[in-house]
Structure 1
Amino acid sequence: MEDTIAATLAFLREAERLKDVMRSGRTSRGRPESTAEHSWRLCLMVMVFARDLPGIDLSRLLRICIVHDLGEALSGDVPATDQTPDDGRAARERADLERLAAPLPAGIRSEILSLAAEYEAGKTPEAQLAKGFDKLETLLQHTQGANGPGFDYAFNLDYGRARTDAHPLLAAIRERIDAATRARIGDSAAQE
Structure 2
Amino acid sequence: MVVDLFNLLEIVDRLKHLKRTGWVMYAVAECETVASHMYRMAILSMSLAECRKDLDIDKCVRMALVHDIGEAIIGDITPNCGVSVEKKYIIEKQ
Q: Note the 1:28-177 alignment, pairs <5 A.
A: 30-86=29-85, 88-95=87-94
Counterpart for residue 15 of structure 1: 12
Aligned length: 90
Per-residue CA deviations over 1:49-105 (Å, capped at 9, x if unaligned) read 22111122111111111111111111111233335544511221232xxxxxxxxxx
Closer/same/farther in 2, CA of residues 48 and 9 from structure 1, 3 Å limit: same
Closer/same/farther in 2, CA of residues 80 and 86 from structure 1, 3 Å limit: closer
Runs of 4+ in 1 over 6 A off after TM superposition: none
Closer/same/farther in 2, CA of residues 51 and 5 from structure 1, 3 Å limit: same
Task: Tell me the SS of whatever aligns to 1:20.
Answer: coil
Task: Flag structure 2 segments of 5+ consecutive residues without an equivalent.
Answer: none
Structure 2 contact 12–72 (Cα < 8 Å) conserved = yes
Question: How far apart, CA to CA, are the structure 2 residues paired with 1:55 and 1:86?
Answer: 30
Q: Is residue 6 of structure 1 aligned with residue 3 of structure 2?
A: yes
Sequence identity (%): 24
Scaled by the length of structure 2, the TM-score of the pair is 0.77
Please say which structure displays the higher CA radius of gyration.
1
Q: CA RMSD in A?
A: 2.1
Task: Flag structure 1 segments of 5+ consecutive residues without an equivalent.
Answer: 96-192
Counterpart for residue 180 of structure 1: none
Question: How far apart, CA to CA, are the structure 2 residues paired with 1:22 and 1:87?
Answer: 24
Structure 1 contact 22–76 (Cα < 8 Å) conserved = no
Per-residue CA deviations over 1:8-33 (Å, capped at 9, x if unaligned) read 1121112211122211227xx82121
Task: Tell me the SS of whatever aligns to 2:47.
Answer: helix
Task: Tell me the SS of whatever aligns to 2:69.
Answer: coil
Structure 1 contact 21–35 (Cα < 8 Å) conserved = yes
